[in-house]
């Protein structure tokens, strides 16, 4: 049974101006962007949603996005889902990487996976907020 | 918790140790996040751009979450135009961004 949906999509976008000279239409590119859109859909809203995390992960994401000179925004509808939109500028100045496989760009070893996921809110089954609540409820006797 | 294990090891040794471990991990994660946030705010994080097909890279990143999504009963999809899209990006920063976006999908108790 799947209870929630998550869609990550990538959309290139160009902002430009159209100009016409004679019968020809020219487009001059002003700005090229890429959108990373992450939508969450809740299929079964009758279930109680888990409490959210600390929000530090999201604050850090915002810093990362800003570092890349992009923007991040969110739109939520209660009980239906939310949509995070990351907008990153497109440049093509960096040296062409001779690495051909995506996997080689970042080696996801166990250690690095831990490191990467440490930026996020709980991913590990034992690190869910549910577990946190359980621990808090125990009174030493 | 430690006191409880000491007092009644038979009852608390198993679950108690696991809880201590889990909470230590949560704390460590939180400390790391705060540390990284402080670094980012202080401008001590550098951008390392490479020019590559960002489409392929993102698809690869999302793929890394497939088993995690399956376990959490989340229907995870990645959509794009499918054509290679070459641009400058920082592979490491993108991992953080995607990891976080995917993690925003809440757990649902059934």
pLDDT at A109 (0 to 100): 43
> Does A130 map to a domain?
yes
pLDDT at A26: 73
Which of B104, B61, B72, B74 shows the shortest CA–CA distance to A59? B104
Q: Is residue A141 a part of any domain in this protein?
A: no
Do B51 and B97 have their domain in common? yes
First to last CA, chain B: 28
Query: What is the three-class DSSP state of A20?
Result: strand
Answer yes or no: do B88 and B101 share one domain.
yes
pLDDT band at A99 (very low <50, low <70, confident <90, very high): low
CA distance A117 to A123: 7
Q: Which two tokens stand for residue B79?
A: 């959509």
Nearest beta carbon to residue A5 from set B75, B87, B93? B75
Q: Exposed e or buried b for every residue in B8-34, given b needs 16+ CB within 10 A?
A: eeeebeeebeebeebbebbeebeebbe
Q: Is B96 left (phi over 0), alpha (psi -120 to 50) or beta?
A: alpha
Mutation for A interface: B59, B96, B98, most A CBs within 10 A = B96
Q: How many folded domains does chain B comprise?
A: 2
For residue B55, give both structure tokens: 């489409």
- Find the mean pLDDT for residues A57-69: 86
Please check whether residues B52 and B97 belong to one and the same domain: yes
Q: Determine the structural domain holding residue A62 and report its residue range.
A: 4-15+30-91+101-136
Q: A51 versus B106: which is more confidently predicted?
A: B106
Question: Is B56 in the same domain as B98?
Answer: yes
The count of domains in chain A is 1
Interchain contact, A8 vs B68, CB within 8 Å: no
In this prediction, residue A97 has a pLDDT band, given cuts at 50, 70 and 90, of: low
Question: Is the Cβ pair B19, A135 closer than 8 Å?
Answer: yes
- B45, B63, B79 - which closes a domain: B45
Q: Domain for residue A25, yes or no?
A: no
Residue ranges of the alpha helices (H) in chain A?
56-67, 102-105, 110-117, 129-136
Residues A13-49: tens digit of each pLDDT: 777 777 777 777 776 767 777 787 877 665 544 444 4
Is residue A61 pLDDT above 50, yes or no? yes
Nearest to A41 by CA among B105, B62, B102: B105
Instruction: Give the range of the structural domain holding residue B74, as residue numbers without chain letter.
Output: 46-110
In a domain, A24, yes or no: no
Chain A residue closest to B25 (CA)?
A: A127
For chain B, positions 27-66, list CB contacts with chain A under 8 A.
28-30, 32-34, 36-37, 40-41, 45, 47, 49-60, 62, 64
pLDDT tens figures, A105-125? 665 444 444 444 444 443 333
Chain A segment 73-112 residues within 8 A of B by beta carbon are 82, 84, 86, 88, 90-97, 99, 102-103, 105-106, 108
Tell which wins on pLDDT, A136 or B14: B14
């Amino acid at each position: 049974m799947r209870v929630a949906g998550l869609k990550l999509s990538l959309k290139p976008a160009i902002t430009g101006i159209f100009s016409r000279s004679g019968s020809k239409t020219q487009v001059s590119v002003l700005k090229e962007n890429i959108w990373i859109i992450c939508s969450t859909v809740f299929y079964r809203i009758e279930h109680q949603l888990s409490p959210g995390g600390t929000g530090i992960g999201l604050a850090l994401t915002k810093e990362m996005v800003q570092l890349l000179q992009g923007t991040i925004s969110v739109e939520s509808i209660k009980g239906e889902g939310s949509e995070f939109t990351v907008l990153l500028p497109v440049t093509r100045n960096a040296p062409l990487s001779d690495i051909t496989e995506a996997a080689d760009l970042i080696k996801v070893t166990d250690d690095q996976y831990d490191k990467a996921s440490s930026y996020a809110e709980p991913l590990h089954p034992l690190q869910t907020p549910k577990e946190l609540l359980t621990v808090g409820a125990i009174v030493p006797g | 918790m430690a006191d409880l294990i000491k007092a009644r090891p038979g009852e608390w040794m198993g679950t108690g140790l696991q809880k201590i471990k889990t909470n230590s991990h949560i704390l460590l994660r939180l400390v790391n996040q705060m540390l990284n946030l402080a670094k980012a705010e202080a401008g001590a994080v550098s951008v390392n751009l490479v020019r590559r097909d960002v489409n392929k890279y993102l698809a690869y990143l999302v793929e890394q979450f497939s088993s995690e999504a399956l376990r959490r009963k989340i229907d995870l999809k990645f959509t794009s135009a499918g054509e290679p899209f070459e641009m400058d990006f920082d592979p490491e920063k993108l991992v953080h961004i995607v990891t976080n976006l995917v993690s925003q999908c809440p757990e649902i108790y059934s």
